[in-house]
Amino acid sequence: MLPLIQFIAVLAASIFTGAAIYINLVEHPARMSCSTEIAAAVWAPSYRRATVMQASLAIAGSLAGVAAWMLGAGLMWLVAALCIFAVVPVTFIIIFPTNKKLLAPERDPRSPETRTLLNKWARLHVIRSALSLVASAIYVWQLVYP
């Protein structure tokens, strides 16, 4: 049972990490190479779709990591689980206020402020990428060097 739970933890955290880093290094820079209006128009549906996937992966990676720890896999599994779980409060507390401004119906998608918010969002999203990368690295490290 433990190997399956560890596999789920590693898989969920690693997919989350890959998606988060892809967003930072590829998707968001590509959309920002367009006009602000287009970037804002593309950001909104991308954000909504990514939210469902990434929230599910963060929760699955967290729960599996905690379960592995509870089954005796070692303290570092709990540390990694807390790192991947940390993306949830980071999103709600640190990133969501920017998301809310970007999604406001009255927002002018052509305004310089919209571009500034999109750039701020990208910088904040790096936190999620970093936390998930740390979690994934710890999980893999624990598999290789238990």
Tell me the mean pLDDT in the region 54-79.
98
137 exposed, middle or buried (CB, 10 Å; 0-12, 13-18, 19+)? middle
Confidence of residue 8 (pLDDT cuts 50, 70, 90): very high
Number of domains forming the structure of the chain: 1
Domain that residue 99 falls in? 2-144
Tell me the mean pLDDT in the region 102-127.
98
**CB-CB contact of 112 with 36 (8 Å):** yes
Q: Determine the pLDDT at residue 121.
A: 98
Q: Determine the pLDDT at residue 146.
A: 87
Tell me the mean pLDDT in the region 77-87.
98
Q: What is the pLDDT of residues 44-53, one digit of tens each?
A: 999 999 999 9
**CB-CB contact of 10 with 133 (8 Å):** no
| Residue where the block lists tokens 């596999």 | 7
